[in-house]
Amino acid sequence: GPLLGVARSDSHKGTTRLTMLLLVFVSAQSFQPLLRPPSPLPAARLSPPSCMARWTTQDMRAKRARLPPEVDGLLSADTPRESTEALWAALRACYANEASAVAAATRNTGTILPYLNSPSNIYGCYDVLVGMLG
């Protein structure tokens, strides 16, 4: 009777409260970087930024492919072409044809910028996606 209805209502309120707390926690976690005090700016550099330390020996020896003119035109003059060609070869291997790979690079040039990505990262992400999605 009525006790069951009250218990169900209290249980529902508890579940709703728990759901709301979970949402608040997840939201707070995703905005946590915004809540941290800003770090001091790094000293000015004379050369373009480089994160090549994240490249493995295997990445440095990765197969390279000549950049199509459309892709080369997306890059700044100071982007190192040799390492970009290794990233292009990895990205191109993920697509059935060059036109699709060019379209992907055009949508997100960061995938072929050597200071943001590595060939092993592209190959690894592709393998994970194929494993998940078929």
The 10s digit of each residue's pLDDT in 34-78 is 445 555 655 555 555 555 548 999 999 999 999 999 999 999 999
65: number of Cβ within 10 Å? 17
Four-point Cα dihedral 128, 130, 118, 91, nearest 10: -170
Cβ neighbours of residue 68 under 8 Å, at least 6 residues apart?
Answer: 98, 102
From its phi and psi, is residue 50 left (phi > 0), alpha (psi between -120 and 50) or beta? beta
Identify the CA nearest to 49 among candidates 117, 128, 115: 115
Which position has the higher pLDDT, 31 or 17?
17
Q: What is the pTM of this model?
A: 0.61
What six digits make up the tokens of 121?
A: 């990262």
pLDDT category at 85 given cuts 50, 70, 90 is: very high
Tell me the C-alpha to C-alpha distance, in Å, between residue 67 and each of 3, 4, 71, 83: 73, 70, 6, 11
Q: φ, ψ for residue 75 (rounded to 5)?
A: -95, 150
